[in-house]
Structures are given as structure tokens and as C-alpha cells.
Amino acid sequence: MNFASPSEDSISIAGTTLQLNGAGIRYKGPFKVYVGDLYTTQPVKSLEELLAAPGPKRLTMTFLREINSADFGKLLTRGIEDNTSKAEMSKIIPGMIKMGEIFAANKSFAPGDVCALEWDPAKGLSIWAKGKLQSEPFKDPAFYKALMSIWFGQNPADWKLKDAMLGVK
């Protein structure tokens, strides 16, 4: 798998060229946690536009500090809970369990490690960590929407990062 260095202008997935939609740094308090990059086939300015955009998409996180992956997985879960209704949550529980297993298996992310969430409409959601595919793709578009809501939903984990990746600085 070929991962671009942070903030490349374009990347290719399944023969489709994606453009950098936006990039920013995720802060937790005063600490820089990772650089987030969003790649799409066309410019998007909202979660709805991201989900409606044709073709593959990729959100890449390049870690800037050591982070325990179990803690990171819990933060992702909380981000989904903050942006997803109880009815939607009940439908995506299998995906949440599988995602938790992926992060538990990776132990930690070190500076320079990359985690990528790649949506290909033909295959589903692939999660890559440290250059390796972590499991069979998640086929459920509802799980992909819930995962993307962490960054682009009504209650994002980091508003500045949301605006930066959506190019609305």
C-alpha cells in the first residue's frame, strides 16, 4: 500500500485520483496529536457533501506523538456516540466491535505512524494502520457515515481540524 506523506496534493485509490480537500492538526489540549488529511474526488465542505461525493475517499492521520491505541479507539467511539443517534448506534454495533479489536491489536501509534480510513464504494471501508490492511472491509455505509461524523459531524472532536480538512478555514 502506498501512503502519501502528509498533505500530498493528490493520491490514487483503485485507479481514481483524489485531491487533497484539506489538512490540519488535531490538538488535545496544548498537545499536537496527529495531522489529518482528507482526500476526495471533488471539493466537499460538509459531512453530507463528503458522503454524497462519488468515488473513493481517504482520511489519513499521521501521528505526531505516541498514543495508546486502546485510548485512541475509545476516543473514536466517544466521537461516534457524540454524533450518532441511539437508533443509528444500535445498527452499527458490529462495526464498532470490529474497530475496537483493530485498535486493541495495534497497541500504540508512534510519531510518524499512519492510520488511514479509506472508503471505496465498490469494497467498503478499509482501515490501514502502519501500512497494513487491518481487516476485511466494512461494507456498511452507515458505519462509514458514523465514523466520518467524528471529524465532520455536528459535535466534532476538534472544530479547527474539521474546518481545516473541509477547507473552510
Neighbouring residues of 169: CB distance < 8 A, sequence distance ≥ 6 = 22, 163
Question: Range of 19's domain?
Answer: 10-165
Neighbouring residues of 32: CB distance < 8 A, sequence distance ≥ 6 = 25, 26, 64, 65
Instruction: Give me the phi and psi of 117, to 5 degrees please.
Output: -110, 115
The answer to whether the CB of 56 falls within 8 A of the CB of 13 is: yes
Give residue-wise pLDDT tens across range 136-164: 999 999 999 999 999 999 999 899 999 99
3 found inside a domain:
no
pLDDT classification of 70: cutoffs 50, 70, 90: confident
Give residue-wise pLDDT tens across range 58-67: 999 999 999 9
For residue 3, is pLDDT > 70? no
5 found inside a domain:
no
Percent of the chain surpassing pLDDT 90: 75
1 found inside a domain:
no
33 found inside a domain:
yes
The answer to whether the CB of 148 falls within 8 A of the CB of 59 is: yes
Q: Choose the weakest-confidence range: 5-9, 13-17, 37-41.
A: 5-9
All three cell numbers of 151, joined, read 471529524
42-47 mean pLDDT:
97
**CA nearest 39: which of 72, 61, 66, 70?**
61
User: At 45, which CATH number?
Assistant: 3.50.70.10
Query: In the beta sheet, which residues pair with residue 3?
Result: none
Total residue length of the chain: 169
Higher pLDDT pick, 14 / 32: 32
pLDDT classification of 74: cutoffs 50, 70, 90: confident
158 found inside a domain:
yes
> What's the confidence (pLDDT) of residue 1?
44
Q: Quick one: DSSP state of residue 138?
A: B
102-116 mean pLDDT:
90
Write the DSSP assignment of 59-87 as a string of letters.
Answer: EEEEESS-EEHHHHHHHHHHHHHHHS-HH
> What's the confidence (pLDDT) of residue 11?
92
pTM value is: 0.91
85 found inside a domain:
yes
For residue 106, is pLDDT > 90? no
- Structurally, how many domains does the chain consist of? 1
d(CA 51, CA 32): 27
2 found inside a domain:
no
d(CA 113, CA 57): 20
> What's the confidence (pLDDT) of residue 112?
96
19 found inside a domain:
yes
